[in-house]
Homo-oligomer: A and B are copies of this chain.
Amino acid sequence: MTVVYNLDQIKSAIDFESLIASQEAGFVAYSEGRVDVPPVGYLGFPEVRGDCHIKYGRILGSDYFVIKVATGFYDNPSLSLSVGSGLMLVFSQRNGRLEGVLLDEGFLTDMRTAVAGAIAAKYLAPKQVQRIGIVGTGVQARMQLDMLKQETDCREAVVWGRDRAKATEYAEEMSAKGFSVEAVDGIRNLAATCNLIVTTTPSREPLLLASDIRPGTHITAVGADAEGKQELDPDIFAKADIVAADSRSQCIDHGDISHGVRSEVIDPTTLIELGELIKNRNLGRTSGNQITVADLTGVAVQDIQIATMVFENLQFKHAKG
């Protein structure tokens, strides 16, 4: 029997501990080569600036495989609709039966992306986070900061956005969630006081400059998930002691890291993967002065793991009545 769950049910099934444990296990499986993730399926709708991506795969030997469909229709706001939508499908690896339909409307993708930021901070952020700097004012800007509550006690944040009004709105909204947030003009002013920075924009040119980065800073770059996107000055990689990638091959292909590789400031053999870092914490930050960078492009194993975790939690609730 296929069970269909809606967004409210899905939200009720997330607890942070299972989430981080399952996501970490997923990154480890990915780095150990224990996943089968075929190429992403794509359908384009140029006439309405829309696209549809189908990401799917499995961790070998686990119970379920997952297919995720994500759409992005960039003219939707003019129709009073959000840009993104989608769902996740959970199938049995034993008999191919469709077990669960998660009508998450893109929420689980946002959530797994935000958790990856928290995981990067867990292994790479300095022990004493002075202030958290958020570049961008969208959904990920909100979720990344919110999720960092789980990995640091710091509640001081600074936000920068191209649109000052949106940054102010962001500051007000996140202040209500327990942070003290200041909106600043100029990313330089953000980098000057923050030693944990998360960039969350769809920028196509460097926003954060190497000259602005202080020793001891960790940067998580979330925005560059496709060719042509870029948030970091490639010279940041030259200054960095540790550069981590969610997927080495993918970050070299189209992450912020790709720009560093192309300008030859990154030696690809020095890159470490998040899954390697999780397995061996010694690969992470070892001193308060190091500069570290995590480049997150998004991998299907994150979808596989969050869908499986949510589905299993919902089944368990269901069984308990």
Min CB distance A76 to B, Å, is 5
With A52-B65, A54-B41, A69-B67 known to touch, is A89 a contact of B87 (CB < 8 Å)?
yes
Asked if A4 and B43 make an inter-chain contact with CB atoms under 8 angstroms apart, the answer reads no
Q: Main SS of chain A's interface residues?
A: strand
Asked if A103 and B38 make an inter-chain contact with CB atoms under 8 angstroms apart, the answer reads no
Does A48 lie at the interface of the complex (its beta carbon under 8 Å from any beta carbon of B)? yes
- Contact string, A40-74, partner B, CB cutoff 8 A, digits 1/0? 01111100101010101110000001010101110
Q: Which residue of B lies closest to A42 (CB)?
A: B38
- State in angstroms the CA–CA spacing of A68 and B71 once bound together: 16
Asked if B85 and A97 make an inter-chain contact with CB atoms under 8 angstroms apart, the answer reads yes
Can you tell how many copies of this chain the complex includes?
A: 2
Does A275 lie at the interface of the complex (its beta carbon under 8 Å from any beta carbon of B)? no
With A38-B42, A65-B43 known to touch, is A50 a contact of B86 (CB < 8 Å)?
no
Min CB distance A221 to B, Å, is 26
Asked if A41 and B43 make an inter-chain contact with CB atoms under 8 angstroms apart, the answer reads no
- State in angstroms the CA–CA spacing of A48 and B63 once bound together: 13
- State in angstroms the CA–CA spacing of A255 and B198 once bound together: 53
Asked if B72 and A96 make an inter-chain contact with CB atoms under 8 angstroms apart, the answer reads yes
Min CB distance A98 to B, Å, is 6
Min CB distance A55 to B, Å, is 10
Asked if B48 and A73 make an inter-chain contact with CB atoms under 8 angstroms apart, the answer reads no
With a CB–CB cut-off of 8 A, which chain B residues contact A84? Answer: 96
Does A278 lie at the interface of the complex (its beta carbon under 8 Å from any beta carbon of B)? no
Min CB distance A34 to B, Å, is 14
Q: Which 3 A-B pairs have the closest CB atoms?
A: A71-B96, A73-B96, A41-B41
Instruction: Enumerate 7 A-B pairs (CB-CB under 8 Å) in ascending A order.
Output: A43-B56, A45-B96, A52-B91, A69-B98, A71-B91, A84-B96, A87-B89
- Besides the known contacts A41-B41, A71-B98, A85-B97, 20 further A-B residue pairs in the complex with CB atoms under 8 A apart: A4-B4, A36-B44, A38-B41, A38-B43, A41-B56, A43-B58, A43-B65, A45-B96, A50-B93, A54-B54, A54-B67, A67-B69, A69-B89, A71-B91, A73-B95, A73-B96, A81-B95, A81-B97, A85-B98, A87-B101
